[in-house]
Amino acid sequence: MGLLWRDAAQVLADRLRRRGVDPGRVHDVEAAWQAFTEFLALPVDGLEPVEEDADGFLVQWGRYSWNDRLPGLCFTRQFAVDVREEWAGKDWYQPEIWQVNLDMVFADTPELAELGRPVPADTGLNFSPPGPERDRAVRAVRQRLAQHPALQAAWTSSPARSCVTLDDAG
């Protein structure tokens, strides 16, 4: 039995706290990453049972208007949620897409000048199932991120602010 998808943001926040990280004021991106990877290993209940892409993750970075164009880094887990009961009597069905995000926003320093320039970027969604396959995918993503100098600078910086959210991405 896994965690309920609606509780996922709270579970991630709890994992962060266990690693000594305040979800509203991340001070250690590496510790936040470790908490996020622990969170990725947890099975989740309430997802679309026939979708191969019902549970995925990605890392996003860039400069967004909602963050005053400051450098940002986001760890995301995405779910395709089974809402079949709500569609009873309809001719077709579509699961809802929800995302749990750990958003971190940084001060605009010279080391972070290239983060998200010229455009925001991400690692792409990875739908490896929790277990050894996801563990390998997480390691591969981390190795890829280590090749990006501005991301490495963010990794060793303390964000100016952060938050954990559960958002409807549909």
25 DSSP assignment: B
Q: How many domains does the chain have?
A: 1
The answer to whether the bond into 118 is cis (omega within 30° of 0) is yes
- The pTM assigned to this predicted structure is 0.92
Question: What CA–CA distance (Å, rounded) separates 52 from 63?
Answer: 31
Q: Give me the tens of pLDDT residue by residue for the chain, a chain 170 residues long.
A: 789 999 999 999 999 999 999 999 999 999 999 999 999 999 999 888 767 789 999 999 999 998 999 999 999 999 998 876 665 666 666 788 999 999 999 999 999 999 988 888 999 999 999 899 999 999 999 999 999 999 999 999 999 999 999 999 97
Domain that residue 57 falls in: 3-168
- Which of 4, 49, 169, 166 has the alpha carbon at shortest distance from 97? 169
Q: What is the dihedral of CA 93, 96, 97, 103, to 10 degrees?
A: 170
Q: Within 10 A of 72 (CB to CB), how many other CB atoms are there? A: 25
Tokens found for residue 21: 């990280």
